[in-house]
Amino acid sequence: MNAPDSQRSTVRWGILGCGSIAHNFVQALPLVPTADLVAVASRSNAAGFSGQYRDTYPDLTVYQDYAELAGDPAVDAVYIATTHNFHFAHAMLCLEQGKHVLCEKPITINADQLVRLRDTARRHDCFLMEALWTRFLPGIRQLTELLQQRVIGDVRLLQANFGIQVADDPQHRLLNPQLAGGALLDLGIYPLNFARIVYGRELISARSVAEIGPTGVDEVSAYLLQFAGGGTAVLSSSCRVATPHTALLYGTTGSIEVEDFFHPSVIHVRTGSHTHTYQVGYPATGFQYEIQEASHCILSGLAESRIMPIEESLQIISLMDQFRADWGLSYPD
Ligand SMILES: NC(=O)c1ccc[n+]([C@@H]2O[C@H](COP(=O)([O-])OP(=O)(O)OC[C@H]3O[C@@H](n4cnc5c(N)ncnc54)[C@H](OP(=O)(O)O)[C@@H]3O)[C@@H](O)[C@H]2O)c1
């Protein structure tokens, strides 16, 4: 019989879906002493993926069937790394087998799916968290501390864009509606998440516009948010045009520039004519911080993370539901 999580010193992880982002997870995992990788499942590339990590993980169990991974008693927790459209079904598969789940962003494609996952996790005493890696990075901890110290007074305006240019291929996962493509769900989630980190209070108004492309998904979308007590965010995302990934925060006594705001390492604080630059890098892929948090919560018997609770994911996905409803953009079932 397996020991309960509270009697273990490491979480035995499995990976479901071995595409591009799963590599970031595997490469960061050795940096987390409380995490071990014991199994992977891929329908298309199980042997090829696991073969790349044979030196680090010679005893990996390799499945071509996700249900076998979900049913493996040697696996405590599963990282879901398939495309957005599959997150709900794959997370549900694992939760119903009593596995803890860390699921890539967006955790689901709508709020209703997330509520169902949350309820299932509670019923099975399982931990559930969205793998929105930005939240856990040292650069974000540094930024949060600076804001708590009010180094630029009250933040009143935030600007952040996340635009990349993907290949002009209707099958690309960001353009394909069957894979829940579109800029909002894949990229827009980052500035929306960032605005919630910066303001950390109730959202009182949200508007958006989108350019829907020939495949039926949003290729360029922009969002205007207003938070209680003053605080505006002007945000955008795009999978057709590349933009700088710099966030600009304007406060009553200065400004902050966050380079690569979705994984920041460099933060410039400007007050008057003075600029102070904080360098807050991280080793490897940076996924070690979310793995560390999830592993810590699981070993401590927590149902959710305090850093990225389900309510926070629910707020973000509900906002994205609202925007998509305004644009008339829905995904196939
Ligand atoms: N945190 C981050 O920085 C970050 C960055 C990129 C992506 N992501 C998230 O990670 C998730 C996966 O993204 P990715 O770039 O890794 O995707 P990907 O490489 O295109 O696909 C990931 C896996 O999904 C399955 N899959 C993909 N297309 C499929 C299809 N048409 N039919 C059936 N299965 C399919 C495959 O699983 P098998 O291995 O089983 O075949 C594939 O290996 C997305 O939800 C994305 O939002 C996060």
Domain ranges in the chain are: 5-133+287-303, 138-281
Phi then psi dihedrals of residue 232, to 5 deg: -115, 145
- Helix, strand and coil in the chain, % to nearest 5: 35, 25, 40
pLDDT of residue 332: 87
How many CB atoms within 10 Å of residue 198?
A: 22
Both tokens of 133, joined, read 């890696």
Tens digits of residue pLDDT in 102-117: 999 999 999 999 999 9
Select from 1, 20, 3, 66 the least CA-distant residue to 39.
Answer: 66
Tens digits of residue pLDDT in 290-322: 999 999 999 999 999 999 999 999 999 999 999
CB of 6 closer than 6 angstroms to any ligand 1 atom: no
Across 73-79, average pLDDT:
98
**Ligand 1 centroid from CA 18, angstroms:** 7
CB of 137 closer than 6 angstroms to any ligand 1 atom: no
Ligand 1, residue 133: give the atom nearest the CA. 1
Average confidence score pLDDT of the chain: 97
Ligand 1, residue 41: give the atom nearest the CA. 40
Ligand 1, residue 186: give the atom nearest the CA. 47
CB of 104 closer than 6 angstroms to any ligand 1 atom: yes
For residue 200, is it left (φ>0), alpha (ψ between -120 and 50) or beta? left
Tens digits of residue pLDDT in 41-51: 999 999 999 99
Please, where are the H alpha helices in 79-161? 84-96, 111-123, 138-148
**Ligand 1 centroid from CA 158, angstroms:** 30
Query: CA 54, 30, 132, 11 torsion: positive or negative?
Result: positive
CB 236 within 8 A of CB 215: no
Across 23-51, average pLDDT:
98
Angle CA(328)–CA(93)–CA(17) in degrees, nearest 5? 80
Task: Kindly report the three-state secondary structure assignment for every residue of 183-210.
Answer: HHHHHHHHHHHHHHHHHCCCEEEEEEEE
CB of 173 closer than 6 angstroms to any ligand 1 atom: yes
Q: What percentage of the chain has pLDDT greater than the value 70?
A: 98
**Ligand 1 centroid from CA 21, angstroms:** 7
CB of 18 closer than 6 angstroms to any ligand 1 atom: yes
Across 150-177, average pLDDT:
98
Q: What percentage of the chain has pLDDT greater than the value 90?
A: 97
According to the CATH classification, is domain 5-133+287-303 in 3.40.50.720? yes
User: 3 pLDDT band (50/70/90 cuts)?
Assistant: low
Fold of the CATH domain 138-281: Dihydrodipicolinate Reductase; domain 2 (3.30.360)
Kind of pairing between the strands at 247-251 and 232-238: unpaired
